[in-house]
Amino acid sequence: MSDLTKLTIAGARDAMRKGETSSAEITSACLTAIEGADALGAFVHHTPDIATAQAAAADVRIKAGDAPDMCGIPLGIKDLFCTKGVPSQAASRILEGFKPEYESTITSQLFDAGAVMLGKLNMDEFAMGSSNETSVYGNAVNPWKRDGDSAELTPGGSSGGSASAVAADLCLAATGTDTGGSIRQPAAFVGITGLKPTYGRVSRWGIVAFASSLDQAGPMTKDVRDAAIMLGAMSGHDPLDSTSADLAVPDFEAALTGDIRGKTIGIPKEYRMDGMPAEIEKLWEDGTTMLKDAGANIAEITLPHTKYALPAYYVIAPAEASSNLARYDGVRFGHRAKLAQGDGITEMYEKTRAEGFGPEVQRRVMVGTYVLSAGFYDAYYNRARRVRALIKQDFDKVFADGVDAILTPATPSAAFGLGEMTDADPIQMYLNDVFTVTVNLAGLPGIAVPTGIDKQGLPLGLQLIGRPWEEGELLNVAYSLEQSAGFVAKPTKWW
Amino acid sequence: MSIDTETARRVAKLARIKVEDDALPALASEFSAILGFIEQLNEVDVEGVEPMTSVTPQRLKRRKDVVTDGDQQEAVLKNAPDAREGFFAVPKVVE
């Protein structure tokens, strides 16, 4: 078979089961593709020996029959996941040299199902960013370029390496994590599918924590079917994560009938932002028409507190980050600063954290410290948590009124150039998450699906938001949208 | 709300991040911009709304209060920048 790296998970699974190819062959093709793709900055730690051994073991299982769907599938793993004996440093200098003595629950589940790890993927430092420009490893680069323009573009963030690797066919799929849009925004920027599950659907154990009440891992894949397959392998109750839900994991792939007749799709009027580019507006209208033509009922809905989601997020996420990142103190793991004569433990903490954290992480830790400090806790943190409750109520009401899924743009623009936002103030960068962050605050599942190309030749995506725990139904609506949109474009190889 | 350099210095201290004096004014102005953005939240009527503690209404699971893990001194110390004689080593804490 040719072009093994271009296979989907479903395609590879079926071909391996029929004996048309093997995990060893696909894995080797991916490893070759990765070797030639340094210019994308996607893979930051390569694990070819692990991959080759896992692929050989997978081939034995597949031959024996009855292997799980993910058996033999070569994946990239975001650097935020702790992988035993393999560097896992959240793209931060402060975790330089850290090799976990344990495996995250999600990677354990994937490996138990026979999946293959090709290496670790670039990301924004501690998952804080929307352009992968805060990484200690340097930028990840979008495989897409504007027509007739050689400028390098961001693959989005924070799961920028995952997005770049999947779009460039360096791996069949990748893990991502999403705290405010970090799976969906990069997926939209590179023309792939990215799913953030319901909060609690997947275990957070062994994933470096950013904002614990918002963080959720999910699949980044070449199509919706693959997202369904991979989500199934990642999901399930984990006694090691007290917020993971003890619910049965349905067969998500079986939910993909493509039949959405009679479903109600909500179009929230608050997402029609001032100054929204005409192309995004048209993309959204086209998506609405596609779902309508597929037999869905379209309903204009209102989510009145949408405007306050970003400011609430920028209190809650930094507050939780300042608490979670307190553990990086130079004592138990990672970097410790060189100390001067007479320096005590406080100087060790302060110098270590100043050297180890990049500017965006420092900024958020300090903002979080401020909003949690005595005298400001009520005014900022408690107020933000109240607003968060109102944002969730907005969604509860809409779902109670019979809406099955909500359609919105995934991002306010196509991918922008690396370095283009350097001089902008931090808030301009935060606006990237304007359509995605509400979903994290409300704990809902959301999926980005590529549905169009802008006039500069770049992919654009739409977001679907589902009811809690209804990823199957959400995936089915996404599947219908994917079929109608017929998005098949691929970036032209330049790397 | 405008943040002055003294407040920026205090926050950096609380966060245990060393910030040089000449970097404080820029930091203070960034904080001011971010807090200005956050202050939109004051427009929202939150009277009678409980602060959210858990986004899913489930009760946290309980387990028996027994030892489930341990005896992993070597693994625990493996990544320490400075470990000696089975302990984490740090600079002098008490004068």
Provide the pLDDT for residue A422. Answer: 81
pTM of full prediction above 0.90: yes
pLDDT digits (tens, 9 = 90+) for A224-248: 999 999 999 999 999 999 999 999 9
Instruction: Kindly tell me the sign of the dihedral angle through the C-alpha atoms of A415, A419, A420, A422.
Output: positive
Averaged pLDDT for residues A295-299: 98
Q: Which residues pair with A446 in a beta bridge?
A: A196, A465
390-429 of A, contacting B, C-beta below 8 A: 390, 392, 425-427
Q: Does B93 touch chain A (CB under 8 A)?
A: yes
Give Dmax (Cα) for chain B.
57
| DSSP H helices in A325-457 | 345-356, 359-372, 383-400, 426-430, 437-441
Rounded CA gap, A156 and A140, in Å? 9
Percent of chain A with pLDDT over 90: 96
Residue found under tokens 């953005």 = B37
CB count in 10 Å sphere of residue A135: 26
Task: State whether A387 and B46 contact (CB < 8 Å).
Answer: yes
Contact A353 B27 (CB under 8 A): no
Tell me what pLDDT residue A1 has. 58
CA-to-CA distance for B40 and B61, rounded, in angstroms? 37
pLDDT at position A140 over 70:
yes
Q: What CA–CA distances, in Å, run from A283 to A185, A250, A437, A438, A483?
A: 15, 31, 20, 20, 15
Q: Once rounded to an integer, what is the mean pLDDT over residues A342-347?
A: 94
| Mean of the per-residue pLDDT values of chain A | 97
Chain B residues within 8 A of A245 when measuring between CB atoms = 56, 58
Low-confidence residues of chain B: pLDDT under 50: none
Residue A434, burial from CB neighbour count under 10 angstroms (0-12, 13-18, 19+): buried
Q: Are A286 and A452 in contact (CB under 8 A)?
A: yes
Separation CA A202–CA A217 (nearest Å):
7
More confident of the two residues A193 and A1: A193
Q: Tokens 């654009």 sit at which residue?
A: A460
Give A89's DSSP letter: -
pLDDT tens sequence across B35-49: 999 999 999 999 999
* Tens digits of residue pLDDT in A21-58: 999 999 999 999 999 999 999 999 999 999 999 999 99
Residues 6+ apart with CB under 8 A from A103: A82, A83, A84, A111, A206
Q: How far apart are CA A233 and CA A253, in angstroms?
A: 11
Query: Which of the four pLDDT bands, split at 50, 70 and 90, describes residue A424?
Result: confident
Task: Output the pLDDT for position A32.
Answer: 98
**Span A365-374, pLDDT tens digits:** 999 999 999 8
Domain ranges of chain B: 5-43
Beta-carbon contacts of residue A99 (< 8 Å; ≥ 6 apart):
A85, A86, A87, A88, B78, B79
Tokens of B54: 């858990």
DSSP state at residue A93: G
pLDDT (mean) for A216-231: 98
Minimal Cα–Cα distance from A73 to chain B, Å?
30
Q: How far is A367 from chain B (nearest CA, A)?
A: 7
User: Closest Cα to residue A184, out of A475, A446, A480, A467?
Assistant: A446
Catalytic residues of A: 78, 158, 182
CA-to-CA distance for A11 and A5, rounded, in angstroms?
11
CB contact, 8 Å: A247 with chain B?
A: no
Per-residue pLDDT at A423: 79
Q: Domains in chain A and their CATH numbers?
A: 4-262 (3.90.1300.10), 307-384 (no CATH)
List the end-to-end C-alpha distance of chain B, in Å, as a whole number: 40
Among B14, B44, B50, B60, most A C-beta atoms within 10 A, so best to mutate, is B44
ipTM > 0.90 for the complex = yes
**A216-221 and A405-409: which strand pairing?**
unpaired
- Residue located via tokens 């503690």: B53
Query: For residue A168, what are its two tokens?
Result: 């460039």
- How does pLDDT run across A77-109, given as a tens digit for each residue? 999 999 999 999 999 999 999 999 999 999 999
Decide if pLDDT at A2 tops 70: no
Out of B15, B35, B55, the one facing A322 most closely (by C-beta) is B15
